Amino acid sequence: VPLAEKALIARIRRMADLAPGRTPKHTRAAHAFLEKGIGDDCAVLRVLPRTELLVTTDFSLEGVHFRRDWHSPESVGHRCLARGLSDIAAMGGEALAAFLSLALPRDLSQVWVDRFARGLINLAEKNKVPLAGGDTAQSPDRILADIVVLGTVPQGKAILRSGAHPGDCIYVTGELGGSASAVVEMRETKRKLNARSYPRHFFPVPRINIGRVLREQKIASAMIDLSDGLSTDLAHICQESRVGAEISVTAIPRARVGSPAREVDLELALHGGEDYELLFTAPANQRVPAKIGGVPVTRIGAITRGHKISLKDAGGRAHELQPRGWEHFRR
State the residues that interact with Mg ion by CB under 5 A: 87, 225, 227
What minimum distance in Å lies between the beta carbon of 274 and Mg ion? 11
Q: Cα separations (Å) of 297 from 88, 108, 207, 280?
A: 19, 42, 12, 10
What minimum distance in Å lies between the beta carbon of 200 and Mg ion? 16
For Mg ion, the closer CB: 19 or 80: 80
Alpha-carbon distance of 54 to 89, in angstroms, equals 10
For Mg ion, the closer CB: 74 or 87: 87
What minimum distance in Å lies between the beta carbon of 224 and Mg ion? 6
Q: Are 304 and 243 in contact (CB under 8 A)?
A: yes
What minimum distance in Å lies between the beta carbon of 85 and Mg ion? 11
The Cα angle at residue 55 between residues 53 and 61, in degrees rounded to 5? 165
The three-state secondary structure class of 162 is helix
Q: Which positions ≥6 away from 206 have C-beta within 8 Å?
A: 82, 85, 86, 88, 89, 127, 225, 276
Q: H-helix or E-strand containing 80?
A: helix 73-90
Q: Which residues pair with 225 in a beta bridge?
A: 278
What minimum distance in Å lies between the beta carbon of 276 and Mg ion? 9
What minimum distance in Å lies between the beta carbon of 229 and Mg ion? 12
**E-strand spans in 107-248?**
131-138, 144-154, 169-173, 222-225, 244-248
For Mg ion, the closer CB: 37 or 206: 206
**Nearest partner of 168 among 238, 250, 239, 104, judged by Cα:** 238
3-class SS letters over 41-56? CCCEECCCCCEEEEEE
For Mg ion, the closer CB: 133 or 206: 206
For Mg ion, the closer CB: 19 or 180: 180
For Mg ion, the closer CB: 108 or 149: 149
For Mg ion, the closer CB: 163 or 167: 163
Peptide bond before 260: cis, by omega within 30 degrees of 0?
yes
The three-state secondary structure class of 229 is coil
What minimum distance in Å lies between the beta carbon of 56 and Mg ion? 7
The three-state secondary structure class of 329 is coil
For Mg ion, the closer CB: 104 or 326: 326
What minimum distance in Å lies between the beta carbon of 225 and Mg ion? 4
Burial of 1 (0-12, 13-18, 19+ CB in 10 A): exposed
What minimum distance in Å lies between the beta carbon of 70 and Mg ion? 23
For Mg ion, the closer CB: 87 or 175: 87
